[in-house]
Amino acid sequence: MLKVNLPDGSVREFSEPVTPLDVAQDIGPGLAKAAVAAAIDGKVVGLDTSLPQVGVVSLQLLTKRDAESLGVMRHSCAHIMARAVMRLFDDVQLAFGPTIENGFYYDFELPHALSDEDFEAIEKEMAKIIELDEPFERLEQTRDESVSICRDLAQPLKVEHIETGLAEDDVLSFYRQGEFLDLCRGPHVRSAKVIGRAFKLLSVAGAYWKGDNTRQQLQRVYATAFWDKADLKEYIQRVEEAKKRDHRVLGKQLDLFTIDPMVGSGLILWMPKGATVRATLEGFVREELTRRGYQPVNTPHIGRIELYETSGHYPYYSDSQFAPIEMEKDERYLLKPMNCPHHIKIYQARPRSYRDLPLRLAEFGTVYRNEKSGELSGMTRVRGFTQDDAHIFCTEEQVAEEFRGCIEMTQEVLRAVGMKDYRVRLGFRDPQSDKYVGSEASWDRAEAALVEVCESLGLEAEAEAGEAAFYGPKADFVVTDCIGREWQLGTVQLDYNLPSEERFGLEYIGADNQPHRPVMIHRAPLGSMERFIGVLIEHFEGAFPLWLAPEQVRVCTVSEKSEEYGRRVEQQLFAKGMRVTGDYRPEKLGAKIRDSQLQKIPYTIVVGPKDEAADTVSVRDRIDGEQETLSLLDAIAKFEAEISERRVRQVAEGSLGLGDGRRSNEY
Ligand SMILES: [Zn+2]
Ligand SMILES: [Zn+2]
């Protein structure tokens, strides 16, 4: 006898062997028709899975309304895509075909170089296969049988995977759909028609077999599928919008940064314009730091390996670090993966008393991480980056106030760049686990302080148990950009580990004349300059607000007659500290204005003979194309006001919901 608990609290009993589909039919034909997959005790399975014949299980029948169903359908669609590719091209070898955040891909090895010109034919073939509505059938095989099946299918990559990646599994599963047979865990939908017609191939890219760059390169076809065409259409629009904003494209077009293979991948070369944006942003952050009682420090880019052995960053994080630099006689250096140990040594450079605390040490510190080459992307995934880093050393009693300061500063910085849509993710400890350092009482106090601070600042904050690092609770800012993508940027993390006896043994002398242990806070409101500016480029679509724009104003002359006046105007703006250029070419005015627009320069000043006579300028606004005639002094005052208020005028509102899927940002 099997007892099946259903989500509505009802229980059904079966004495015959049953599948989730049988249970659905038992409940009603409507549900049996609507069910896409099932979850047995929380594990997603196909509808044809055999339920145990005795005992108790919880069963949930998943319909299109359940998010898990979409993944099942998309992976089924990946099989259909692979089947279509094998029908259309010769010698196709299959690698992996998983679902990803907004769709799925399949990696193929084949002589033909796939391109988007092939997409239509593949999609047509997929539609034909779906129309036949053949079932997805699961077969289970022993390892040996599985290897021989994959050999018979001439699929050496699958053979290799069974022999290496799946060496622990005694029984493996395959799914058959018509002539297509693939090694696969599943689950799948019942038959092809469940997939529907709302699927689309998106792009093709190179990918190494098992992500290993010493192995052969495969062709990865990205695609997506939705339950209905309206969702697919909306998704495609979002992808197009994101493409238009791609910081890698805009960064090149607007001369902001470059990456040169001879320098190395993942290493950003900031062009003058990009460096200007960065310097302006840094200047703003420096002002905030000074105002908030931080003191600047500077530290080198390398440190002896012993420093990182003490901090625990080596060898613990060594697979994400560059290999040590070997010097003579046991002297080894590491490119610094973190600034914290250096700042700790500044703290320890002299005895500290409670009067020194809180001590806030700030540095735009460049760190290096050896990210896998396949994961590098423009400025958002890099190997060298500069954190707007600081470390606060304080007493237990000061933690809440310091948290407040850090969170307020992050809010201030985000406000200045027009990012209004964000939430705070609080990473707390898992009360069941004992992996954490620091006393339970300290954790309780710190977690309560974090919640309290967020509440009092009116911040949307969600606490996630088990998301803290072992060394302390944290608050991560998750920012939604103007096309709805989420980015994890700033972070504030408490640390009970580095100050501890086992690490650096930090101390201060208290009012009682006794040594005490300070708490350490790591915080970076922007995260890294590279990533933050990469996100900003996309957020603003390259059109920075006036205060950040690398070129704020361009002076264009109506004709050569006004060049002298134009240069005088330019000179006066320059004298006021504005980033201004002049276009005095003998071109048509329209062409000059268009160039200025394409460069996304916030204001274009047009001057002609009448302006010269009246000491006026005509100011053209990039955002709305409005033109107004102002005296030169009024124009300067207008720009100065907009700059000093750090006004952000051009960000479109709206939320479309793409994500970058990146989470961890631990120190
Ligand atoms: Zn599969
Ligand atoms: Zn740190």
Q: Are residues 506 and 592 in the same domain?
A: no
Residue 547 lies in a domain: no
Q: Are residues 503 and 382 in the same domain?
A: yes
CA of 98 to the centre of ligand 1 (A): 7
Residue 248 lies in a domain: no
CA of 215 to the centre of ligand 1 (A): 22
Return the H-helix or E-strand segment holding 441: helix 440-456
Single out the residue in 34, 63, 92 at which a domain terminates. 63
Q: Are residues 531 and 571 in the same domain?
A: no
Residue 499 lies in a domain: yes
Residue 601 lies in a domain: yes
The alpha carbons of the chain give a radius of gyration, in whole angstroms, of 30
Q: At which residue do the structure tokens 């890219």 appear?
A: 205
Instruction: Count CA atoms within 13 Å of residue 531 on its CB side.
Output: 24
Backbone angles phi, psi at 411, to 5 degrees: -60, -45
Q: Is the pLDDT of residue 661 over 50?
A: no
Q: Is the pLDDT of residue 509 over 70?
A: yes
Residue 50, Cα to own-chain centre: how many angstroms?
A: 40
Q: Is the pLDDT of residue 405 over 80?
A: yes
User: Active site includes 522?
Assistant: yes
Single out the residue in 42, 63, 84 at which a domain terminates. 63
Residue 364 lies in a domain: yes
Catalytic residue among 425, 485, 503, 522: 522
Q: Give me the amino acid identity at 373.
A: S
Q: Is 14 exposed, middle or buried (0-12, 13-18, 19+ CB in 10 A)?
A: middle
The predicted structure's pLDDT at residue 65: 93
The predicted structure's pLDDT at residue 176: 95
pLDDT tens figures, 284-331: 999 999 999 999 999 999 999 999 999 988 887 778 889 999 988 889
What is the overall mean pLDDT for the chain?
A: 91
CA of 421 to the centre of ligand 2 (A): 26
Q: Is the pLDDT of residue 486 over 90?
A: no
Catalytic residue among 369, 638, 646, 647: 369
The predicted structure's pLDDT at residue 441: 86
The predicted structure's pLDDT at residue 667: 36
**Nearest by Cα to 26 from 51, 54, 45, 43:** 51
Q: Is the pLDDT of residue 13 over 50?
A: yes
The predicted structure's pLDDT at residue 665: 28
Lowest mean pLDDT among 343-347, 455-459, 514-518, 584-588: 455-459
Average pLDDT of the residues in 228-238: 92
Residue 378 lies in a domain: yes
The predicted structure's pLDDT at residue 313: 86
Average pLDDT of the residues in 656-662: 32
Q: Residue 291 CB: number of other CB atoms within 10 A?
A: 10
Question: Do the Cβ atoms of 541 and 245 come closer than 8 Å?
Answer: yes
Q: Are residues 465 and 341 in the same domain?
A: yes
Q: At which residue do the structure tokens 């760059």 appear?
A: 213
Question: Do the Cβ atoms of 307 and 339 come closer than 8 Å?
Answer: no
pLDDT band at 356 (very low <50, low <70, confident <90, very high): very high
Catalytic residue among 387, 488, 493, 599: 387
Q: Which residue has the higher pLDDT, 317 or 2?
A: 2
**Nearest by Cα to 409 from 480, 491, 339:** 491
Q: Are residues 523 and 411 in the same domain?
A: yes
In the chain, count of helices (H) and strands (E)?
A: 18, 33
Q: C-alpha distances in angstroms, 139 versus 37, 82, 150, 547?
A: 17, 19, 13, 63
For residue 189, give the ligand nearest its CA: 1
- DSSP letter at 28 equals -
Q: Are residues 112 and 84 in the same domain?
A: yes
User: Active site includes 474?
Assistant: yes
Q: Are residues 46 and 109 in the same domain?
A: no
* Ion ligand 2: residues, CB < 5 A: 340, 522, 667
Average pLDDT of the residues in 440-458: 89
Catalytic residue among 190, 391, 503, 592: 391
Q: Is the pLDDT of residue 160 over 70?
A: yes
Residue 657 lies in a domain: no
CA of 391 to the centre of ligand 2 (A): 6
Count of structural domains, the chain:
4
Q: Are residues 59 and 85 in the same domain?
A: no
Residue 636 lies in a domain: yes
Average pLDDT of the residues in 134-146: 93
CA of 175 to the centre of ligand 1 (A): 7
Q: How far apart are CA 414 and CA 511, in angstroms?
A: 38
Single out the residue in 538, 564, 589 at which a domain terminates. 538
Tokens, residue 254? 């607007």
CA of 185 to the centre of ligand 1 (A): 6
The predicted structure's pLDDT at residue 651: 53
Q: Are residues 494 and 569 in the same domain?
A: no
Which CATH number goes with the domain that contains 103?
Answer: 3.30.980.10
Q: Is the pLDDT of residue 663 over 70?
A: no
The predicted structure's pLDDT at residue 355: 96
CA of 658 to the centre of ligand 1 (A): 25
Return the H-helix or E-strand segment holding 220: strand 217-225
Which CATH number goes with the domain that contains 532?
Answer: 3.30.930.10
Residue 133, Cα to own-chain centre: how many angstroms?
A: 38
Q: Dihedral of the CA atoms 163, 169, 175, 181 (nearest 10)?
A: 20
Q: Are residues 214 and 121 in the same domain?
A: yes
For residue 522, give the ligand nearest its CA: 2
Which CATH number goes with the domain that contains 612?
Answer: 3.40.50.800
Q: Is the pLDDT of residue 187 over 90?
A: yes
Question: Do the Cβ atoms of 156 and 93 come closer than 8 Å?
Answer: yes
CA of 52 to the centre of ligand 1 (A): 24
Lowest mean pLDDT among 56-60, 342-346, 435-439, 597-601: 435-439
The predicted structure's pLDDT at residue 654: 35
Q: Are residues 99 and 18 in the same domain?
A: no
Q: How far apart are CA 624 and CA 620, in angstroms?
A: 9
Q: Are residues 559 and 530 in the same domain?
A: no
Range of the domain at 576: 553-644
Which CATH number goes with the domain that contains 44?
Answer: 3.10.20.30
The predicted structure's pLDDT at residue 659: 34
pLDDT tens figures, 57-96: 999 999 999 999 999 999 999 999 999 999 999 999 999 9
User: Active site includes 340?
Assistant: yes
Tell me the percentage of the chain whose pLDDT exceeds 70: 97
The predicted structure's pLDDT at residue 250: 95
